[in-house]
Structure 1
Amino acid sequence: MTCDVCENSNCLIKRNLVSLEESGLDVEKNNLRCKKGQQFIIEGAPVNGLFFVLKGKVKVFRTGINGREQIVRFAKEGEIIGHRGFGTEEYYSIGAVALEDSVLCYFSKVYLQNTLQSNPKFAYDLMLFYANELNKSESKVKSISQMAVRERVIDTLLYINRKFGSNKGFLDVSLSRREYAEYAGTTEEQVIRVFSALKKEKLIVTKGKKIGINDIQLLKNEISEHNFFLDS
């Protein structure tokens, strides 16, 4: 798919399509198809470029103590993957895995660096993106350090809802209890306990891996003292 017919209006490349007309964009772009569960960025591998999600859903993670994964964020259509190491590090500090069958757009590091040097508007837009990402990261660090386990799990549910929305009454992404724990910064056992309590309180419903939120406002109210941060 060429960028001019792409429907991901929030994509950084799509937003700058007019100013990038002379950059040989379509010639430089490569598409990568990933099956569900396929890892396309290996933590510690050399940084060769950036990925943009054309279709699908992705999780981004880092490996911590004793090989335990910590999910940094999730990504959907139009979002960038691999930017944390771009321009500052020689190796990816994160890994990335497709949560479902996905299609990715890939641009090489050399091409992007040359384009940034010759295109101020594109460079400025990327700078704003990094500033926004830093704001989100700082907010998450604050929430993890100040929230109780139940609050972190609720915050995770609300984040997933903002990111992917719902489908037929359930969050529109299939995640294991372990993956919820890896994002919330807790254990799988704690997530199961909190989900069980929320079900008894009729705040959520579950069906296998699927989770539905019955009352989003009540969950927001429970963590409102932490200055609920509307990221996406």
Structure 2
Amino acid sequence: MKEALANCNSCLNENCFIKKHLHLEQMKSYIEKKHSFICKKAHQFIIEGAPIQGLYFIYKGKVKTVKTGINGREQIVRFTKEGDTVGFRGFGTSKRYLIGAYALEDTVLCNFSNEIMLEILHTVPEFTFDLMLFYADELNKSENNIRKIAHMNVRERVIDTLLYIHRKFGQTNGMIDLELSRKEIADFAGTTEEQVTRMISSLKKEALIKTVGKKIGLLAIPKLQSEIIEHKYI
């Protein structure tokens, strides 16, 4: 990890919690106390079970968060990008991180320590209220995903994952702006690398997707959506 300059005042991430509240006079002193750094691709900056060191806000880059599942296998629980918050699971209720986090590309991160975050929560009511709504929304998403995955077959899980990363990161030149291995797709979809490889091959033969190396492009989004519409994708 290397030190990096990430200026909150010139930040373009309008959905970042810190950026959203910069108009408040109380926030001005807190942004001067943050720590920012570069985390290189594939490096881990949060270790599951390690003592909580505050919250991370992505200034630039992409991150995956993971949780250890059955037989010690890491399950990907979330993908995040510029403006997203990382490390909030367990914050305020636990002394240790409930997830791990890795940079999917060279990523600039802003970190606010436990002490600073708790001070913000005690002194900036608008920030605290918005964070409460964020937690409620994340809980609702998690519950919906659990119910959805429980009723999906392998093909539907893979399609749902591809549509999710497409919505999250978009496409450039016909390819999703996130390079994932087949194992990473499997770890998010809750299946095996072998099954993901077979499903991707099948979807390619049906001209629903295309691949270039690890990158995947969606060619027929409405058709893919129609396959999982009964699970309330729309």
Q: Which TM-score tier does this pair reach, normalised by the shorter chain?
A: over 0.9
The alignment of Structure 1 onto Structure 2 pairs a total of residues equal to: 229
Instruction: Look up the match of 1:38.
Output: 43
The AA in structure 1 aligned to 2:140 is N
Which of these residues, 186, 189, 198, is aligned with residue 191 of structure 2?
Answer: 186
Q: Secondary structure at the residue paired with 2:90?
A: coil
Aligned residue number for residue 129 of structure 1: 134
Residue in structure 1 matched with residue 3 of structure 2 by the alignment: none
Partners of 1:74 and 1:20 in 2: CA distance: 32
What TM-score, normalized by structure 2, do the two folds share?
0.95
- Normalised by the length of structure 1, the TM-score is 0.96
Deviation at 1:146, TM superposition (A): 0.7
- Using the alignment, how far apart are the partners of 2:147 and 2:31 within structure 1? 41
For 1:24, what is the secondary structure of its paired residue? Answer: helix
Aligned to 1:62, the other structure's residue is in SS state strand
Q: Cα deviation per residue 1:8-36 (whole Å; 9 max; x = unaligned)?
A: 00101111111254551232111011110
The answer on whether the counterparts of 1:23 and 1:115 sit within 8 Å (CA) in structure 2 is: no
In the aligned structure 1, how far is the partner of 2:7 from the partner of 2:97?
27
Where 1:175 maps in the other structure, the secondary structure is coil
Runs of 4+ in 1 over 2 A off after TM superposition: 20-23
Aligned residue number for residue 170 of structure 1: 175
Does 2:203 correspond to 1:198?
yes
Is 1:110 matched up with 2:115? yes
Rounded to whole Å, the distance in 1 between the matches of 2:201 and 2:35 is: 44
Q: In the aligned structure 1, how far is the partner of 2:170 from the partner of 2:133? A: 25
Q: Pick the aligned partner of 1:208 from 200, 213, 219.
A: 213
The CA RMSD measured in Å over matched residues stands at: 1.1
- Secondary structure of the structure 2 residue equivalent to 1:54: strand
**2:106 pairs with one of 85, 101, 116:** 101
User: Which AA in structure 1 matches 2:230?
Assistant: E
Structure 2 counterparts to residues 1-232 of structure 1, below 5 A: 1-22=6-27, 24-228=29-233
8 Å Cα contact 2:26/2:124 also seen in 1: no
Post-superposition shift, 1:101? 0.4
List runs of 5+ in structure 2 lacking aligned partners: 1-5
Cα deviation code 1:66-110 (max 9, x no counterpart): 221100000000000000011011100100000000000000011
